[in-house]
């Protein structure tokens, strides 16, 4: 537990109180930590060009010292202070900015000399994001400095999508927590690396490879289904990918396959686990939740199976609620890909530490 006297300040995103924002901006300028909502998840922010303030983010989260932070801006005018990229990389950055910013896209580009090395854990690149959330934009603009901000959860826990989640994790650790309501997207931004020879999505988000390919040629996506299998001698391109992540306290197991095989398999597992004395949770969809009712388990739906945005906005909240109810094991149905579906599966997959049970006939691999 931290020992700061954390202030909680409510701000209405549709009627922003300028005095409250000015106060929070002052905290940022003097080197303090402010938790604020973005359209994806809440972040815990500090002045990105103050190395000591940046250091305190790592301490507040218990974050490993080799997992770099994203720098948030509120105007493309701030880009020259953050990145020194030139030539083709610069041209691509501005093309992406034009199409996707403000919005849930982080671009990895060459780091400017003015950005302290600890922001990027010594890498010569930096993650840059221009969020669309009104409160995030106001805070950055009034602070007048770029804001380094990872998600405002304790390291390894599910990302916060509501102020109550931030309060759970960051009371006593941050100077201010802005309560700005629920986030819209619910999963973190797409991380897109344009600094290397090959442009790649390092972390899937609401902006998909398909979306990016409308603007750039020759981009691909790293195979996140094997984040733990990366060659031992090879540094992962996105350092954050190597950590077990987004984890509730409960064990998470994913079941993949056709619906009836998945349901059968989960029902069998419920019986077994309950017999062993465990408290069981099931993460289902609106279409499948009926099969698990009356089994003496905690069942939550992520929403409709064909609405990946709804699933994204519910995922982290559902994981935290299972924890709140003292569930020991979470049996989760795999979700369809497409749209934000890959981002949701990526987070679920990492919460499960890669444990997927294939049910029925093995799905075709392409």
Binding stretches for ligand TXA (CB under 6 A): 38, 40-41, 43, 67-70, 106, 108, 120, 123, 125-127, 129, 131, 149-151, 188-189, 191, 202-203, 238-240
Number of alpha helices (DSSP H) and beta strands (DSSP E) in the chain = 10, 16
Q: Is 151 in the site for Mg ion (CB under 5 A)?
A: yes
Q: Nearest-CB residue to ligand TXA?
A: 240
Residue 68: contacted member of Mg ion, ligand TXA, none (CB under 5 to 8 Å, by partner type): ligand TXA
Contact 107, 127 (CB under 8 A): yes
Minimum gap (Å) between residue 93 Cβ and ligand TXA: 14
Minimum gap (Å) between residue 228 Cβ and Mg ion: 17
* Residue 47 or 151 with smaller CB distance to Mg ion: 151
Contact 245, 352 (CB under 8 A): no
* Residue 120 or 151 with smaller CB distance to Mg ion: 151
Residues in CB range of 127: below 8 A, 6 or more apart = 68, 69, 70, 71, 106, 107, 108, 120, 191
* Residue 32 or 43 with smaller CB distance to ligand TXA: 43
* Residue 354 or 360 with smaller CB distance to ligand TXA: 354
Instruction: Give the three-state DSSP class for 323.
Output: helix
What letter does residue 338 receive in the DSSP assignment? S
Cα-to-chain-centroid distance, residue 38: 11
Q: Annotate 84-122 with b (16+ C-beta within 10 A) or e (fewer).
A: bbeeebbebbeebbeebbbbbbbbbbbbbeebbebbbee
Minimum gap (Å) between residue 117 Cβ and ligand TXA: 11
Minimum gap (Å) between residue 239 Cβ and ligand TXA: 4
* Residue 173 or 203 with smaller CB distance to ligand TXA: 203
Residues in CB range of 99: below 8 A, 6 or more apart = 214, 215
Contact 105, 189 (CB under 8 A): yes
Minimum gap (Å) between residue 127 Cβ and ligand TXA: 3
Q: Is 190 in the site for Mg ion (CB under 5 A)?
A: no
Interface residues with Mg ion (CB under 5 A) are 151
């Amino acid at each position: 537990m931290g020992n700061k006297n954390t202030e909680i300040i409510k701000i209405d995103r549709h009627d922003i109180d300028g005095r409250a924002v000015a106060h929070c901006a002052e905290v940022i300028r003097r080197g303090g930590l402010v938790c604020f909502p973005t359209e994806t998840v809440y972040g815990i922010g500090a002045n990105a060009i103050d190395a000591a303030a940046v250091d305190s983010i790592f301490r507040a989260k218990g974050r490993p010292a080799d997992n770099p932070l994203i720098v948030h801006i509120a105007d493309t005018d701030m880009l020259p202070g953050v990145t020194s990229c030139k030539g083709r990389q610069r041209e691509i950055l501005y093309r992406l900015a034009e199409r996707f910013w403000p919005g849930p896209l982080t671009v990895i580009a060459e780091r400017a000399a003015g950005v302290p090395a600890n922001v990027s854990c010594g890498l010569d690149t930096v993650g840059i994001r221009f969020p669309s959330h009104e409160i995030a934009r106001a805070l950055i603009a009034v602070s007048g400095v770029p804001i380094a901000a990872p998600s405002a959860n304790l390291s390894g826990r599910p990302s916060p999508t509501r102020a109550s989640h931030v309060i759970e994790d960051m009371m006593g650790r941050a100077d201010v927590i802005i309560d700005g309501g629920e986030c819209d997207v619910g999963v973190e931004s797409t991380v897109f690396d344009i600094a290397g020879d090959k442009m790649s999505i390092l972390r899937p988000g609401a902006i998909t490879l398909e979306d990016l390919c409308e603007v750039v040629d020759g981009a691909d996506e790293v195979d996140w289904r094997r984040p733990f299998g990366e060659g031992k001698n090879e540094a992962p391109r996105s350092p954050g990918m190597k950590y077990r992540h987004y984890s509730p306290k409960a064990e998470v197991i994913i079941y993949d396959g056709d619906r009836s095989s998945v349901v059968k398999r989960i029902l069998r597992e419920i019986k077994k686990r309950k017999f062993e004395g465990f408290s069981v949770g099931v993460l289902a969809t609106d279409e499948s939740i009926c099969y698990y009712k009356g089994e003496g388990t905690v069942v939550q739906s992520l929403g409709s199976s064909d609405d990946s945005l709804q699933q994204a906005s519910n995922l982290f909240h559902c994981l935290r609620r299972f924890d709140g109810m003292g569930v020991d094991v979470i049996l989760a149905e795999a979700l369809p890909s497409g749209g934000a579906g890959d981002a949701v599966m990526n987070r679920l997959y990492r919460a499960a530490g890669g444990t997927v049970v294939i049910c029925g006939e093995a799905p075709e691999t392409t």
